[in-house]
Amino acid sequence: MNILKIISQDILTQPSLLIGLISLIGLLALKKPFNKVMTGTLKPILGFLMLGAGADFIVSNLNPLGQMIEHGFNITGVIPNNEAIVAIAQDVLGKETMLILLFGLLFNLVIARFTKFKYIFLTGHHSFFMACLLSAVLSTGGLSGALLVLVGGFMLGAWSAISPAIGQNFTLQVTEGDNIAMGHFGSLGYYISAWVGKFVGKPEDSTEDIEIPEKYGFLRDTTISTAITMMVFYLIAAIAAGSDFVVELSGGTNFIVFAIMSALKFAVGVTIVYNGVRMILGELIPAFEGISRKLIPNAVPAVDCAVFFTYAPTAVIIGFISSFIGGIVGMLILGFAGGVLIIPGLVPHFFCGATAGIYGNATGGKKGAVVGSFVNGLGITFLPALLLPVLGQLGFQNTTFGDFDFGVIGIVVGKAADLLGSTGIYIIAGLFLLALIIPSFMKTKSPTLNNDVEAYE
């Protein structure tokens, strides 16, 4: 059991180790020399660690911004936070969560090998979060023991393969044919953003082609433009919160200085993420050829949303701001409707909003990035509010999951269990199974569902 715990809790939840292991298997399958195996294994691991370090740096500087906004504008309510609810749920369903995570990865690999859903989900911490959600909602539906683990593992493995496939056509537009997929459980929000983008703008009008006068040429540097944009955010929040509150929050630093330094550190975090992404992509895609050729034909790596940031850096900031505004509008609507206030969490609005902006830009340019990510912001406000009653049955009334897919899966499975008990859960699992099987009897352009890479080459 200790070995099982190490594998499920210490390895599978670490995307850096998981992606390094996959790269190692791919390189060995290609019979690469020792030096290539070492480089190709370690660089993706180091790249993901760099990405994680940058993300942690971003989060650590977003947290005080959120506190200043709450205090300065006198907002109280529920802030969606994946990590917080997982920490609570682990005390109740820790063993079940870990076993669902392990079986979910195994089911994902089997599905990739034997169906047209060739996507291998490599974002371990999001798999962990989804395993936690499934263990919670399935247990309320009456499942327990081995049945809970098997059904939960199958649902996790199925959604890990299906969710990248749903919007792979959009993903290929984002990457211009780079053979990677979206491996993040905010995916439905990104695909909706891309779908909305098609109706509001044109892809030729890209955020990355915004013309900047020569005297403002420094704004073409992503790090500089991010720093200046965030300075405005932080200064407004610090002034609204008041110097006394910010000085206490910062441990004695002047409130203006603290706001400026936090904004600059945020920009540094984004730059670290970009550098980590470049290191990952430089080694992962070639190494994955070994998986695709030798073990799982036509396999496609599904990777974290931050990996896509380098494809449209300007859309990252536009998406974040537009999603955050959508979150504020959604919060006001909930307030007028008498519902629980969902305070816009800056972490989900940055990572999910930025990615929604990238997808909206790919199909609708600047207008697509703005409108698509705004819609995403509304989605990740209303869905957590609707998910709260489902989680409240387990005693998790004061927090909820923040990303789009968690809301959809949690609500659908939870409501099915509430209406029909375990029968409702089996119906949802059966629908997943049908979704996996039916495409095998259909003629598609590519052996991998929705992954027509040749059309973008």
3-state secondary structure of 453: helix
pTM of the prediction? 0.86
Q: How does residue 398 score in pLDDT terms, banded at 50, 70 and 90?
A: low
Q: What's the pLDDT at 224?
A: 85
Question: What is the arithmetic mean of pLDDT over 205-230?
Answer: 78
Domain membership of residue 440 as a residue range: 2-456
Using CA atoms, how far apart are residues 221 and 232, in angstroms rounded to an integer? 17
Q: What's the pLDDT at 80?
A: 79
Sign of CA dihedral 37, 39, 45, 48: negative
Q: How does residue 141 score in pLDDT terms, banded at 50, 70 and 90?
A: confident
**pLDDT tens-digit series, residues 409-429:** 999 998 898 888 899 999 999
Look-up of token digits 């919160």: 241
Q: How many helices (H) and strands (E) does the chain have?
A: 15, 3
The answer to whether the CB of 197 falls within 8 A of the CB of 359 is yes
Q: How many domains does the structure of the chain reveal?
A: 1
Using CA atoms, how far apart are residues 74 and 217, in angstroms rounded to an integer? 38
Token pair listed for 416: 């099915």
Token pair listed for 136: 């919670």
Question: Is 221 a residue whose pLDDT tops 90?
Answer: no
Count of Cβ atoms closer than 10 Å to residue 75 Cβ: 16
3-state secondary structure of 120: strand
Choose among 69, 19, 66, 73: nearest CA to 46. 19
Question: Is 396 a residue whose pLDDT tops 70?
Answer: no
The answer to whether the CB of 388 falls within 8 A of the CB of 79 is no
Q: How does residue 202 score in pLDDT terms, banded at 50, 70 and 90?
A: very high
